[in-house]
Amino acid sequence: MQTINLRSNHDLRDEIKAYWSIRAETFDSQPGHEIFSEEERAAWHALFRRHVGEGRGRTAFDLACGTAVVSHLLDDLGYRVTGMDWAEPMLERARAKAKTRGRSIRFLMGDAENTMEPDGTYDVVVNRHLVWTLVDPLAAFQEWHRVLKPGGKLLVIDGDFVNPTLVARIAGKFAAFLARFGKKDGRAQNGPGADLAETHRSILSRVYFADGARAEAVAALLREAGFTSVVIDTDMSAIHRTQRKNFDFLKGLERAAQHRYAICASK
Ligand SMILES: C[S@@+](CC[C@H](N)C(=O)[O-])C[C@H]1O[C@@H](n2cnc3c(N)ncnc32)[C@H](O)[C@@H]1O
C-alpha cells in the first residue's frame, strides 16, 4: 500500500509562506525591519559598500525581499535591482513602496531556493534574514551561485536567533518580565502576538538551521556550494547603535548581543 508523508518539505514551505503573508501586514511598522532614520540608512549603506561596493548600474538580486527594505538600499547605491519573494502580501507592499518613493525596482514572485532565473544573470546576490528559515540551504546556495555572473558576489545578512548569548538572554528575560507585568508593550517591539509566535517556534523547530544559523556553519555550506573568498563580518555595531534609538534599552541590548552577521562570498 502506498503511504503519504504528511510532513513533506512542501508542507513546511507552504507554512513558511503563509506565516510571512500574515506578518506582511505589520512588517514595516517594526524597527529592525523597516528603517526609521537616515543614520540607520547610512549605516546599512556602509555595510553594503564595504562588501559589494557601489552599484554603478550593475545588477543586484534581493532574495526574499519582503517589503523591499534591502532592495531600496541597493537602489540608493546605484544597482539595477530585482527583488524576489514568495509571499504576495509582501510583494504588494514592496511594489507600493517603490511607487511611493519613485523607484523602478523589478519584483518577481518566486522561491529563493529555485529562482528560475537564467545562469549568470546578476553581479550581486543579497539576502537579509532568509538563511535561518531555508528548508534546503545547500540547494539554495548552489542556486545563488548559478545565477551569479563569474566574479559576482553574494552577501548574506543573518543571525542565530535560537541560541541567545548570556547578555541577550538576561535582557530578553527581563524585558519579558516587564511586559508581563504591564510595564511596557512587549508585542509592539517583539513582533507577532502569541498565536503567530507559536507558529514561528514550530516552523523554526523544523527548518535546516533549527539549532541556530551560526555564521561558521553557513560559511562552510557556502564553500560546499562552490563559493570562494568567504568572509564573515560580525561588526554590525554601527547598525545596532542607530537601531537602538527605536527600541527600549533592554530590547536594544538584546538585539545587539545576538549573534548577527554578514557573510560575503565570491563566485
Ligand atoms: C524576515 S523576512 C525578511 C524580508 C527582507 N529580506 C528584509 O530583510 O526586510 C523573510 C522573508 O523571506 C521570505 N521567504 C522565506 N523563504 C523564502 C523562499 N524560499 N523564497 C522566497 N521568499 C522566501 C518571506 O516571504 C519573507 O518575506
What pLDDT is recorded for position 60? 98
In a domain, 137, yes or no: yes
In Å, how far are 17, 78, 102, 242, 244 from 39, measured between CA atoms? 32, 19, 21, 6, 11
Task: Measure the CA angle with vertex 242, ends 241 and 246; round to 5°.
Answer: 110
In a domain, 39, yes or no: yes
Q: What average pLDDT is seen over the chain? A: 89
In a domain, 84, yes or no: yes
Ligand 1 pocket check for 158: Cβ under 6 Å: no
Is the separation of the CB atoms in 55 and 79 below 8 Å?
yes
Q: Which helix (H) or strand (E) holds 195?
A: helix 194-204
Question: What residues form DSSP beta bridges with 259?
Answer: 160
In a domain, 19, yes or no: yes
pLDDT above 70 for 178: no
Report the alpha-carbon distance of residue 182 to residue 160 in Å, rounded.
29
**Residue among 101, 98, 104 at smallest CA distance from 81:** 104
Ligand 1 centre to CA of 2 (Å) is 35
pLDDT above 60 for 9: no
Q: What pLDDT, in 10s, does the model give residues 41-88?
A: 999 999 999 999 999 999 999 999 999 999 999 999 999 999 999 999
The domain tally of the chain equals 1
In a domain, 4, yes or no: no
In a domain, 96, yes or no: yes
Q: Which helix (H) or strand (E) holds 136?
A: none
What pLDDT is recorded for position 252? 72
Is the separation of the CB atoms in 129 and 102 below 8 Å?
no
In a domain, 6, yes or no: no
Atom of ligand 1 nearest to the CA of 127: 6
Report the alpha-carbon distance of residue 188 to residue 141 in Å, rounded.
34
pLDDT above 90 for 7: no
Q: What pLDDT, in 10s, does the model give residues 93-141?
A: 999 999 999 999 999 999 999 999 999 999 999 999 999 999 999 999 9
DSSP conformation class of 54:
-
Give the confidence band of 12 by pLDDT, cuts at 50, 70, 90. Answer: very high
Q: How many CB atoms lie within 10 A of CB 240?
A: 20
Ligand 1 centre to CA of 168 (Å) is 24
Which structural domain range is residue 187 located in?
Answer: 12-266
Hey, what's the cell of 24? 506582511
Atom of ligand 1 nearest to the CA of 157: 8
Ligand 1 pocket check for 33: Cβ under 6 Å: yes
pLDDT above 80 for 10: no
In a domain, 7, yes or no: no
Mutate which of 82, 85, 125 for ligand 1? The one with the most ligand atoms within 8 Å of its CB, which is 85
CATH code, domain carrying 64: 3.40.50.150
